[in-house]
Chain A
């Protein structure tokens, strides 16, 4: 009665290929490379079909299940072990799922009219035989996968107590070809790598994409003019503007939490210094004053401070300075090389690239635990950590042989998912903000 899982996978591959072609972007292959046996066991039963319309073009249960698996907090029952197919709470035989040692079960039904998709779903506690959620979520047109991501977000929030971040987007840079044949693209995709959409193409390097807080714009660095320049581009309309094309380096843009200012690293006054730019007027405020390389500014979530990379002590380390100016304080003391910080939404965790010898790994420093540090990536040339908006997961870039790949890793470092471009490099990941449903 149920389609085998591999067929689902192939169906999605075709769909992804379709979207990829439409958007002119190359899709990513997604592989979960390890899991956590101690994660919460949950069953997502394939959704039933409601009404006389066509079948849903997306398998909601499959997408929900993959979302829950890759965040590291859940372990879903493999399809072959889902022995019964209830689609409403009243059809659930709890003894079956208790025997399978499941803590939670998700059941649901879809209604599709060829345009809009409505999914009704219920989340039940298997042991208490208690309904925790019963919601209806609707999606339109090309965004049907969002229905599943929003369901996964609801389940995540109900069980974990933190807002889910599956219904979000990521940005990354791809590079295909070498030397004079190199083709770069800045791409935006769903958080699971689906629906890639090219934002900008270039024959010269693109780097450092950064999301505006409302998710509508990306700031990035492009070398298309022959030198680095900072652009801000509207994702939906494609319209863009140069916000800094000064002599020297124009690098490392980051929007302030209020979206009104951009922190940047500019060297037009002699060497790279941290500035904030008022986006309405273009006026610059200089924050740092020394001969070191000061770059990679990151706003703290309250917008009060900026964490940045500086080699003023000899090697790159992280420093923090008030966004209104002041004296920088060094905040990293472990490892020879610390750079490229990503600060979690609550300001407690700072992910960074930590280098020791020739090995560069992603380290997470927990400021609420006295600066305790853990590594969440194996190296050797890992870069560009970027937190999910709920800090449940991190994206980062890695090198595997000659190619660049991305990894999504759970915050505890235990579940890792590889995102590989079919042909070429993928790098410079940036996890976008929450989206409005």
Chain B
């Protein structure tokens, strides 16, 4: 049976509604830069200042990526963990929110849990490197904040991430 019953005409909604949302382009983003290429001056000499958040290549890196259904911090991100931990040590007033994210596979609520696990993994690594727990807040967005919306591994890889957001520098 090929009974296609179209009972609603999109154009009518557009005419009737005050504002029809513009069609959004799905923009595949460029693959993330390989974090291993980030130079990481651990700058053990002097203390970091807020200016370093803009100028220091390691501190400017605010995202780390995860394998599918995994939450362990890969060794390639050790330098990122180290410099942000040092910043938090050097700046006891600094505060950070870690946003944990997943790809779209699996259920939304389970992915909230997985995103939180990823956020907690980074928080634990930062604390192990000397940051204070009260400097770090973890929020999980699960699969709700993708940076890429295609259904393939290169896109999923970009979405399985922790974002670091400084709320007080």
Contacts and interface: CB of A to CB of B under 8 A. Distances in A.
A339 B13 contact: no
Given A249-B113, A295-B110, A309-B107, A423 B21 contact: yes
A271 B116 contact: yes
B70 to A, nearest CB: 12
Contacts of B51: none
Nearest to B15: A17
Contacts, number: 165
Contacts of A90: none
Given A340-B110, A428-B108, A178 B26 contact: yes
Contact of A267 (B9, B113, B151): B113
Nearest to A424: B21
A21 B17 contact: yes
A149 B105 CA distance: 36
Contacts of A44: none
Using C-beta atoms within 8 Å of the partner chain, give the interface range for chain A: 35 or more
A375 B87 CA distance: 52
A353 B107 contact: yes
A273 B114 CA distance: 13
B75 interface: no
B5 A248 contact: no
Given A20-B13, A34-B1, A402-B26, A226 B139 contact: yes
B93 interface: no
Contacts of A176: 21, 24
Interface SS of chain B: loop
Given A340-B107, A381-B151, A402-B150, A29 B10 contact: yes
B6 A423 contact: no
Contacts of A223: 141, 144
Given A267-B113, A293-B114, A181 B106 contact: no
Interface in A240-265: 248-249, 251-252, 265
B159 to A, nearest CB: 13
A29 to B, nearest CB: 5
Nearest to A399: B151
A293 B26 CA distance: 32
Given A10-B9, A293-B117, A422 B14 contact: yes
A178 B24 contact: yes
Contacts of B69: 315
A402 B23 CA distance: 12
Contacts of B109: 207-208, 251-252, 265, 295-296, 309, 339-340
A178 B141 contact: no
B63 to A, nearest CB: 15
Interface of B: 1, 3-10, 12-17, 20-24, 26-27, 69, 104-110, 112-114, 116-117, 120, 138-141, 144-145, 149-151
Give the 4 A-B residue pairs with the shortest CB-CB distance, closest first. A35-B1, A293-B113, A205-B144, A422-B10
